[in-house]
A and B are shown apart, each in its own frame.
Chain A
């Protein structure tokens, strides 16, 4: 056991730090062109799609270097390395793994250069967690598919340029995981309609997406017909080290401690209240557990062991912390904690209140906690499937 880094790893960390020092001015000093310049610079560094093969514009970055890059970026509170979160997280890796040469040439550079953003068309009105039961259908007619159906809860759909879409191409199958196909569709395709849905926080970043006779050329199919489930599963399995998240959560914990220090409860400093102290300490214990779980799993990967579903452990912690930390802040500050931005007594600009309404983005988005529990119970503990 050791937490030492090699000379090369340390010099990479220093390179990232130096870069951040030179290229990441404090927020108030960031001018209009900052984001565009930032994206260009990190792209030049090879840090966008850092782990992707060099032949596709990545840097073939190793596991530890990826973790270092994420950690340093999070420590510096740097903006994301690209504008398409989903493009970088799974669309790109999916295309690299299953795409044709033409698809790779067409889509990968635009993702890396932040020229296009992607959204993900998985969930349907009747099929969210039960993803393999999708009904949105595509019929092949000559050199294209005709898509009809509906997707819902599609995050980013109101502004995305492309959608990675799961459709059913075969209804006559013995197992529901078969007959699913993955298509790459431009959001401006005729017959495709986006209806944003307002969420409980008042934002409109997810939407219903309707498909009426939308024509998708066969060349936009990712993987073989009927292979869509495998494409999706391996794309979602593109698990990333959670070290960046952990850094952000420690940071949030510090902000929460600041709030506790300036808050009174029943006329006394909240920081002296045993339940307050204990709750914060338990948050810290869970975040630290995420950190050391992550390092343990990273070590396994470095040694060439395959991870099964261990990452669901950290996803469950993340989900509960995501809900509990903001909720705690709101409760701690009483009625003032209920005010959103603009409220005359709003706490920290209403940011806790706002966040306390935003958790489903994270908690439900990547598979609900109960799905994660199924995964752990079935794949790790060997319990029978539901």
Chain B
């Protein structure tokens, strides 16, 4: 029984922290935020060289063959510094290919993804607040030479930096992931309040893909991809929430009002303690969920719904209280805590909000 990290995982964590501090600190993040894609090719190259893009890709496809627990370490730490790099999208796309792709797909696509040479993202639902197969409406029709797709996929994560897209569609034989490339589609930025999580719409106008580029996806596959997506987002929530807590806690020690640091007032210190309780708790739930992905997959749905069901609303409150406890300064664009509030709002609906996940916990628990 060991519910902790290995020496290697601790070293990986240190490595990511160092990278975020030295190469991708907040001033650089803010520069990237001012662009539509928030993408930095030089940083991408660096994290590719560090092997982070191939963490969960098997060694036979050029990856490191590690587990989601390892990926969790990286996502937690990059999100601590609000990295805008499309790391989670790449990981999720590779997980989808591993799950739904043929041996050829894996051999043809994964090595370039592990090396960072190709950037790939994935988009599932066509409704902004509905997690269900019914929320996939983009359609692929059979034509000579493959399938034709016309329509728009909205809020595709990292759409502007990606070169390859896996888009969930309804095909003639059911749900599928359509693999399309940048030159086949029109990509337009869809600015959202969190500029560190750029999204875009991907428009397809009679795009024809070869039959082999439509990867069949069962409803179970869709559930799996959604669940690992939620694992990735919740890992990012843990890192970002810890950063927001630490920033607010430090501020409370220094800010003097009525002759005392505000952290001495119970109205402030108790809220900080409650935030600590929440972060510790959804962190523990998330670690367990990340472990189930590779080691106990039948437990994944319940485990991730417990984690994200807890985290979605808790982190949103942390974002609000992080700003609130800072007072006026927290409200300024210049101060960083507001960036975490925006991140919490971004994370809340991604791959299911608290209502979705808690309702699912109830169903899985026999209600």
Contact = CB atoms under 8 A, between A and B. Distances in A.
Of the candidates A2, A376, A383, the one having the most CB atoms from chain B within 10 angstroms of its own CB is A383
A8 to B, nearest CB: 12
Nearest to A378: B269
Given A278-B359, A383-B252, A1 B367 contact: no
Interface string A145-177: 000000000000000000000000000000000
Interface of A: 1-5, 9, 64, 257, 260-261, 271, 274, 277-278, 280-282, 284-286, 288-290, 292-293, 295-296, 298-300, 302-303, 310, 313, 316-317, 370, 372-374, 376-378, 380-386
Contact of A370 (B69, B270, B291, B360): B270
Given A271-B367, A299-B3, A373-B270, 10 more contacts: A2-B295, A257-B365, A288-B285, A289-B281, A289-B306, A292-B285, A299-B2, A370-B270, A381-B263, A382-B253
Contact of B365 (A3, A274, A280): A280
Contact of B273 (A3, A376, A385): A376
A277 B367 contact: yes
Given A1-B69, A383-B263, A384-B253, A285 B358 contact: yes
A292 B288 contact: yes
A261 B365 CA distance: 12
B1 A295 contact: yes
B270 A281 contact: no
B4 A377 contact: no
Contact of A313 (B277, B306, B357, B366): B277
Interface in B248-272: 249, 252-253, 260-261, 263-264, 266, 268-270, 272
Interface in B153-211: none
A384 B264 contact: yes
B1 A5 contact: yes
B229 interface: no
A377 B267 CA distance: 11
B359 A383 contact: no
Contacts of A313: 276-277, 280-281
20 contacts: A1-B5, A1-B6, A3-B291, A278-B355, A281-B359, A281-B365, A295-B1, A295-B284, A299-B4, A302-B1, A310-B280, A313-B277, A316-B273, A317-B281, A370-B266, A377-B263, A381-B272, A383-B272, A384-B264, A385-B264
A381 B249 CA distance: 7
Given A64-B1, A378-B269, A383-B253, A286 B281 contact: yes
A327 B278 CA distance: 22
A1 B4 contact: yes
Given A292-B288, A373-B274, A298 B253 contact: no
Contacts of A296: 3-4, 284, 287
Nearest to B270: A373
Contacts of A385: 264
- CB-CB nearest 3 A-B residue pairs: A289-B281, A292-B284, A281-B358
B355 A4 contact: no
Contacts of B52: none
Of the candidates A292, A302, A382, the one having the most CB atoms from chain B within 10 angstroms of its own CB is A292
Contact of B269 (A9, A295, A316, A377): A377
Contact of A2 (B1, B252, B287, B305): B1
Given A1-B69, A285-B306, A313-B276, A278 B362 contact: yes
A98 B260 CA distance: 39
A380 B281 contact: no
Of the candidates A302, A317, A376, A378, the one having the most CB atoms from chain B within 10 angstroms of its own CB is A376
Contact of A381 (B273, B307, B310): B273
A386 B267 CA distance: 11
B309 interface: yes
Given A1-B5, A317-B281, A376 B263 contact: no
A293 B264 contact: no
Of the candidates B274, B282, B362, the one having the most CB atoms from chain A within 10 angstroms of its own CB is B362
B268 to A, nearest CB: 8
A300 B360 CA distance: 32
Nearest to B6: A1
A302 B287 CA distance: 18
Contacts of B365: 257, 280-281, 284
B361 interface: yes
Contacts of A378: 269
Contact of A377 (B2, B270, B358): B270
A64 to B, nearest CB: 6
A376 B249 CA distance: 12
Contacts of B276: 313, 376-377, 380-381
Nearest to B308: A285
B367 to A, nearest CB: 5
A156 B154 CA distance: 64
Contacts of A5: 1
Interface in B319-357: 354-355, 357
Contacts of B272: 376-377, 381, 383
B285 A377 contact: no
Interface in B279-323: 280-282, 284-285, 287-288, 291, 295, 305-307, 309-310
Nearest to B358: A281
A212 B358 CA distance: 57
Contacts of A64: 1
A239 to B, nearest CB: 15
A386 B355 contact: no
Contacts of A377: 263, 269-270, 272-273, 276
